Amino acid sequence: MFIDVYSKATGRKHRVPEHYMDHPVLSKPFRKTPKTRDAETTSATPETDVVTATPTTETPAAGDKE
């Protein structure tokens, strides 16, 4: 996947592979665009609203309990 970045030296916009920004040498001449940074922060937020259910291995009892 490619992302948009700006060159630190010239300010020109480029499209580079996403893994470039994880590499210290390859990412040095670039900075991410605000759009790319915003997309990264919204997708990296922890999912605190998700309810986790504890799985059970017991099957429910069949029949009436009177």
Nearest partner of 29 among 38, 16, 41, judged by Cα: 16
Say what the pLDDT of residue 65 is.
Answer: 66
As a whole number of angstroms, the distance between CA 22 and CA 16 comes to 12
Say what the pLDDT of residue 15 is.
Answer: 95
The larger pLDDT score, comparing residue 9 to residue 64, is at 9
pLDDT digits (tens, 9 = 90+) for 14-52: 999 999 999 999 999 999 999 888 887 887 666 655 556
User: What's the pTM?
Assistant: 0.59
As a whole number of angstroms, the distance between CA 51 and CA 66 comes to 33
The single-letter DSSP state of residue 23 is: S
Q: Tell me the two tokens of residue 57.
A: 């291995």
Say what the pLDDT of residue 23 is.
Answer: 94
Nearest partner of 17 among 39, 38, 36, 43, judged by Cα: 36
Helix, strand, or coil (residue 41):
helix
Sketch the domain layout of the chain as residue ranges: 2-41
